Amino acid sequence: MTEHILFDLDHTLWDFDTNSRAAMLSIFGRHRLALVFGSYDNFHRIYDDCNTRLWRSYADGTVAKSDVVYGRFARPLAIAGHPDEALARRLGDEYLRLTSDGMALMPHAIEVLSRLKAVGYGLHIVSNGFREVQYRKIAHSGLGRFLTGIFLSDEIGCMKPHKPFFDHVMARLATTPDRCVLVGDSPESDIAGAVGAGIRPIYYNSRGLACDLPGVRVIASLAELLTDSCGLVPAGPDN
């Protein structure tokens, strides 16, 4: 009997790509980064590579949060031949502020949360994102009114997919894994984490990536959460 649904935030409910791109384009124009990188696409390609590497190191515990926030701008500036730590810090702070004001959500997010809340589930966020931005994203985008709990690795001190993260969530909700479902877009942190914790995972594969997750329910749209096949809403004529 499912009582709680745990949602990842970025790329699952909150449209990270759309919101991030708007913030990046704003920063790129405001700081005349075309003079350094030539084009936005070139800048973003380098940024994306640096950001991915730094996040991997952050997840491994080999770099600090501030290394991600500022390093993902400091490294591209250095690679482009314009090392500037002070500018990297400004860009890092500005990006976090601008992106967390983003209001774009993944398709069907509101209707799905609204329906699942009406069914009576406790709806919660489980995210590895930074504390400084995740609460702002949730508030600005209107997700907050549907949520009962917000669980951030930044506050728990342990990231998905590690089991202590989910142990903490289970303890706080005074529930057990068999009474929970997790919906997320990351096979590594969300799906592996849920499987390891004994929670039923639903993989939101919005980008249609190749995936090999035996026994895991895969959806291409959040709207599928309201269909009989996910078993979350009572079967009826209005589903």
What residues make contact with Mg ion under the rule CB under 5 A?
8, 10-11, 185-186
- Let me know: does 106 contact 222? Beta carbons within 8 Å: yes
Tokens of 2: 């499912």
User: Which residue, 19 or 28, has its beta carbon nearer to Mg ion?
Assistant: 19
Evaluate the CA torsion angle 226, 231, 232, 235 in order and state its sign: positive
Which residue of the chain is nearest Mg ion when measured via CB? 11
Rounded Cα distance between 214 and 78, Å, is: 43
CA-to-CA dists, residue 237 to 34, 180, 228, angstroms: 55, 26, 11
* 35 Cβ contact list (under 8 Å, min separation 6): none
- Let me know: does 99 contact 133? Beta carbons within 8 Å: yes
Q: Give least dist CB 169 to Mg ion, A.
A: 16
Q: Give least dist CB 114 to Mg ion, A.
A: 21
Q: Give least dist CB 182 to Mg ion, A.
A: 11
Q: Give least dist CB 10 to Mg ion, A.
A: 4
User: Which residue, 88 or 169, has its beta carbon nearer to Mg ion?
Assistant: 169
Tokens of 38: 């030539």
